[in-house]
């Protein structure tokens, strides 16, 4: 039985000081680590599924690449040289890191794992996130969902710079390089102070908006722009807004205080009007003013199939809400 190196020519290493050395290969490191573990060429070769001559050649090539002698070879035994003792530790560490790299790549390839950075507009986040978070928790437990609440312009910028992966917001965006996955349409509801003649009414004509002191969100909120567009469609010219607010909660409290009326998307009505007894809501006549909410992703998104599947699952989860869920094509 041959215990030592079957290739005695590999016993010496001759590399000039000024010679250009090649980087070690993973196969060479794996061969050396196996010999360091077993101190036996046959056992080491069997452990990594390599022939003994190939194993010996790989170790010799590693010694040449490094310019040091790693093993003390005889026909009877194999020992690690002092340099071999030190470098075996490094070789094992490199191989462990490569293994970790491959495991991480496998995890990334698996659908609905790793981080997903979701951007959400403020007029959607408080009302839809409970449904989104419940869906992710129940169906995609290995997905690390990270939520960022920002206005539309900031979200779109974050999407295209790679800071964000997916957006949940009102559309259409009209932004090149962006793909929208429509989720639902929802009506706007008129919110009035207690005692207002339109409070509690159904079938309100849009033209009634021309006579109202309408309170809207600050500049930068897409809901403000949508409400102004509704006013323009109703024949309201100029700027009907005298008071603004940074969020819907403040806006509704201003209405409760008698400063005017406002428009809320239906998903926000229950949450925002439950804080005051001084509010009434009114429904518009068909076709009521609406907004569309969608997921948006980069056109070249690597996880496009996942995002499309998530949109399908989210449509089903949203059906209990007061919205009109859309098909995949909108």
In tens, the pLDDT along 227-271 reads 777 777 665 655 455 667 878 899 999 999 999 888 899 999 999
What integer pLDDT is reported at residue 246 of this predicted model?
A: 79
- Evaluate if residue 2 carries a pLDDT over 60: no
What integer pLDDT is reported at residue 214 of this predicted model?
A: 83
pTM of the model: 0.69
- Helices 266-273 and 125-139, interaxial angle, to 10°? 110
Report the share of the chain in percent with pLDDT over 90: 63
Q: Do domains 114-183+293-325 and 186-290 have the same CATH topology?
A: yes
Between 285 and 228, whose confidence is greater? 285
According to DSSP, the residues that pair with 149 across neighbouring strands are 120
324-325 vs 78-80, strand pairing mode: unpaired
The full set of domain ranges for the chain reads 8-109, 114-183+293-325, 186-290
User: Could you read off the pLDDT of 93-125 as tens digits, one per residue?
Assistant: 999 899 888 877 776 778 888 889 999 999 999
Q: At 219, is the pLDDT very low, low, confident or very high (cuts 50, 70, 90)?
A: confident
What SS3 state is found at 145? Answer: strand
Topology (CATH) of 8-109: Arc Repressor Mutant, subunit A (1.10.10)
Q: At 11, is the pLDDT very low, low, confident or very high (cuts 50, 70, 90)?
A: very low
According to DSSP, the residues that pair with 204 across neighbouring strands are 284
Please tell me the least confidently modeled range out of 28-32, 187-191, 213-217, 270-274: 213-217
Domain 114-183+293-325 has CATH 3.40.190.10: yes
Positive or negative torsion for Cα 61, 67, 72, 73: positive
- What Å distances lie between residue 176 and 12, 156, 170, 180, 214, CA to CA? 64, 11, 16, 11, 33
Domain 186-290 has CATH 3.20.20.370: no
DSSP 93: H
Q: Are 67 and 87 in contact (CB under 8 A)?
A: no
Over range 310-314, report the average pLDDT. 97
Between 148 and 242, whose confidence is greater? 148
d(CA 190, CA 280): 8
What integer pLDDT is reported at residue 236 of this predicted model?
A: 61
According to DSSP, the residues that pair with 115 across neighbouring strands are 144
Task: Name the token pair of 171.
Answer: 């559309």
Please tell me the least confidently modeled range out of 129-143, 176-190, 231-245, 287-301: 231-245
Over range 199-203, report the average pLDDT. 92
Over range 151-166, report the average pLDDT. 93
Q: What is the DSSP annotation of 297-328?
A: EETT-TTHHHHHHHHHHHHHHTTTSSSEE--T
What integer pLDDT is reported at residue 18 of this predicted model?
A: 47
């Amino acid at each position: 039985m041959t215990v030592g190196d079957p290739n005695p020519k590999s016993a010496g290493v001759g590399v000039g000081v000024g010679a250009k050395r090649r980087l070690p290969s993973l196969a060479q490191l794996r061969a050396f680590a196996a010999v360091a573990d077993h101190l036996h060429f046959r056992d080491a070769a069997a452990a990594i599924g390599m022939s003994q001559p190939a194993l010996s050649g790989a170790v010799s090539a590693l010694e040449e690449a490094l310019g040091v002698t790693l093993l003390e070879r005889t026909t009877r035994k194999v020992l690690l040289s002092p340099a071999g003792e030190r470098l075996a530790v490094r070789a094992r560490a490199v191989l462990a890191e490569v293994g970790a790299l491959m495991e991480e790549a496998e995890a990334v390839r698996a659908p609905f794992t790793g981080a997903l950075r979701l951007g959400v507009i403020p007029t959607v986040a408080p009302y839809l996130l409970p449904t989104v978070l419940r869906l992710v928790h129940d169906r995609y437990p290995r997905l690390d969902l990270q939520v960022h609440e920002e206005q539309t312009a900031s979200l779109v910028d974050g999407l295209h710079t790679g800071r964000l992966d997916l957006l949940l917001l009102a559309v259409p965006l009209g932004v090149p390089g962006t793909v929208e996955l429509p989720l639902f349409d929802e009506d706007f509801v008129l919110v009035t102070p207690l005692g207002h003649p339109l409070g509690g009414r159904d079938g309100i004509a849009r033209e009634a908006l021309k006579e109202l002191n309408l309170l809207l969100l600050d500049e930068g909120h897409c809901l403000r722009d949508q409400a102004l567009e509704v006013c323009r469609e109703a024949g309201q010219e100029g700027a009907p807004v005298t008071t603004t607010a940074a969020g819907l909660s403040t806006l509704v409290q201003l209405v409760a205080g008698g400063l005017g009326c406002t428009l809320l998307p239906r998903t926000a009505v229950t949450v925002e009007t439950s804080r005051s007894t001084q509010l009434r809501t009114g429904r518009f006549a068909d076709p009521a003013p609406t907004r569309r909410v969608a997921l948006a992703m980069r056109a070249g998104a690597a996880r496009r199939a996942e995002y499309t599947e998530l949109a399908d699952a989210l449509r089903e989860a949203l059906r209990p809400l007061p919205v009109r869920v859309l098909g995949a094509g909108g």
